Structure 1
Amino acid sequence: MSISSSPEKPQLAFLGPLGTYSHQAALECFGDSVEYLARPTIADVQRTVSAVVPFGIIPQENSLNGSVVETYNILRIPEVGQGTFVRGATVFAVKHSLVVRRGVKLENIEKVLSHEQALGQCQGWLAEHLPRASLVRTDSTANAAKRLLSAETGLDPMKCAAICSSVVVTIYEGLEVLEQNIQDGTENFTRFYILSQGLDVGLPEGYPQSIECMALLRLQAPGDPVKPTLNIPRAISTLDLIVERIDRRPSVHGRPFDDIYFLEVGAIPGQNSPELSWRKQLQQAVDRVKRMGAEVSALGYW
């Protein structure tokens, strides 16, 4: 599903349907400079990024509920860092609403539908106001709202609510906002990664050109079970870069507790020069860690 039909605009995939926070964050970043393509899951967004659909946006972390597990699972696969790359990041302020079919009251609600991140960000409000309601995970917040309008078996829409953005009531007829700002805490932000097909494709007009000198690295022990596990502190020291954040997920090699590490790194001030660009400095750092025997890939830089 797209909201523009201009063939001159590049396409950008986002977690749909219309009205998700991914959709709103993309609009805030790119405006009308791209054609928006809704995809049903975060994994589908990554798979869609190609020569035909050169850009995507995926949620990376929420300030209340932490890292988005599905995104980091995707970042483990070899295609990321070979064809698909992370080219930047953007932050969007999230304000959750409790949305229902028109006429539904708070005391009627027995089930609350939403993406697991939104459910986690509102758990305090839910415990206070809907302690007996069961929580139903959906692929996206806007999809939770759409399900309230369906004739889905086993789901009585007159006893259900969705946690999503209030903008959905302007998109899907028959819904209304029952409660606003139900997130736990007033400061609720989600950070998104911008994806592109290839490292050298220019980002769409309207997206600010970054001068941050940041990169995302994937670091893990070698796949050979005979070789020792990776000494992470030593690897980080060998990079000789500023490490802004570290995340980890289980390794795809199958060895228990042999994790993949994701490092957001930055250039050390004063190290870059006309002779040593950020790209070259990053490659030298990656090569140093590879000589330790580690598997390391640059998943993108900006």
Structure 2
Amino acid sequence: MAYSHWLNSGFAKEVMLCPCPSIAQTLYCVADEQADLAVVPVENSIGGSVAITLDTLWQLDQLQIQRALILPITHALLSNSVTLDNIKTVYSHPQALAQCQKWLEKYIGAAQLVPTNSTTEALEFLHQDQLAGAIASPRASQLYNVPILVPEINDYPDNCTRFWVLGKEPSTNGDCTSLAFSLPANVPGSLVKPLQVFAKRLINLSRIESRPTKRSLGEYLFFIDLEKGSSLHSVEEALEELATHTEVLKVFGHYNLLPLNFAATN
């Protein structure tokens, strides 16, 4: 729901928002043409990358990144309880729990922390348990009519999350490019050649990280974000050469990044 303003202003027609119970199911809905676009978190400035987003995107060949969104994150503790002393259980997405860990330990350290698929799902438990709290956005309080017990419980005030808007349309224009690849052999220096492809063309890599292939211990996939700089031609040349040094190469699209100035939560 936090994306409705951007989605409805970014398209000529009104957009219907369809919540899904998990990130993976959100992506599969678009891949199976049950929805046109998916908006999923990929990286948080505090909690790091969202592994399920990367792993699922690697498994799917149809999806392309249409846009990246950067949202400031404000977490609040929502509850039907009138006092913190009554809170015995706190529900939320694992990322939200991690981003409020210090506050939780300081003020309700004895409470049980229960991870959920999303912050929206966490709110469902509040109707059943008057002694429970949920970490979600202040906006969620308005949408789902749940009182805010404590506002702004983030451990870090400058918390931001990067989201990807994914669809099946080809994504060929933009200042950012995201890709992933596996290597043909796990030997010394096997990662150097792919990285040199970008270095010799002075293409800046804004992010690189590894994820296990799930085939064998010590085998990894490498996810890279790069900035186009002054020449898309150089990027296309680099991708052509990169393909010769990798086992499997997947380019998730060329897209632009849009910072948003309203608070949300993952």
Q: Same fold (TM over 0.5)?
A: yes
SS of residue in 1 equivalent to 2:237? helix
Change (3 A) 1:125 1:228: closer
Distance between the aligned counterparts of 1:192 and 1:92, measured in 2? 8
Change (3 A) 1:142 1:238: same
Give the C-alpha shift of residue 118 in structure 1: 0.3
The farther-off stretch of 140-149 and 114-123 is 140-149
SS of residue in 2 equivalent to 1:49? helix
- 2:8 pairs with one of 31, 41, 59: 31
Q: Which amino acid aligns with 1:63?
A: S
Distance between the aligned counterparts of 1:31 and 1:148, measured in 2? 30
Say how many residue pairs are matched.
246
Q: Which amino acid aligns with 2:191?
A: I
- 1:215 pairs with one of 174, 177, 186: 177
Change (3 A) 1:186 1:232: same
Give the C-alpha shift of residue 99 in structure 1: 0.6
Query: Which structure dedicates a bigger proportion of its chain to helix?
Result: 2
Q: Is the 8 A contact 1:146 1:172 kept in 2?
A: no
Gaps of 5+ in 2: 256-266
SS of residue in 2 equivalent to 1:158? coil
What pairs with 1:1-302 in structure 2 (closer than 5 Å)? 23-24=1-2, 26-31=3-8, 33-50=14-31, 51-77=33-59, 79=60, 82-101=61-80, 103-150=81-128, 157-173=129-145, 175-199=146-170, 211-212=174-175, 214-222=176-184, 227-229=185-187, 231-239=190-198, 240=201, 241-252=203-214, 254-269=215-230, 272=231, 278=232, 281-302=234-255
Give the C-alpha shift of residue 282 in structure 1: 3.5
Q: Which amino acid aligns with 2:149?
A: L
Overall identity of the aligned pairs, in %: 25
Q: Which amino acid aligns with 1:73?
A: D
Distance between the aligned counterparts of 2:229 and 2:171, measured in 1? 23
Q: Which amino acid aligns with 1:256?
A: L
SS of residue in 2 equivalent to 1:256? coil
Distance between the aligned counterparts of 1:263 and 1:73, measured in 2? 14
Give the C-alpha shift of residue 228 in structure 1: 4.2
Change (3 A) 1:42 1:84: same
Change (3 A) 1:293 1:220: closer
Q: Which has the higher contact order (CA 8 A, sep 6+)?
A: 2
Gaps of 5+ in 1: 1-22, 151-156, 202-209, 273-277
Alignment deviations for residues 116-152 of structure 1 (CA, whole Å, 9 cap, x no partner): 00000000100100111111000111211122113xx
Change (3 A) 1:200 1:182: closer
Give the C-alpha shift of residue 34 in structure 1: 1.8
Q: Which amino acid aligns with 2:68?
A: A
Change (3 A) 1:211 1:220: closer
Q: Is the 8 A contact 2:212 2:221 kept in 1?
A: yes
RMSD: 2.0
Give the C-alpha shift of residue 115 in structure 1: 0.2
Distance between the aligned counterparts of 2:171 and 2:245, measured in 1? 29
Give the C-alpha shift of residue 48 in structure 1: 0.9
Distance between the aligned counterparts of 1:236 and 1:65, measured in 2? 26
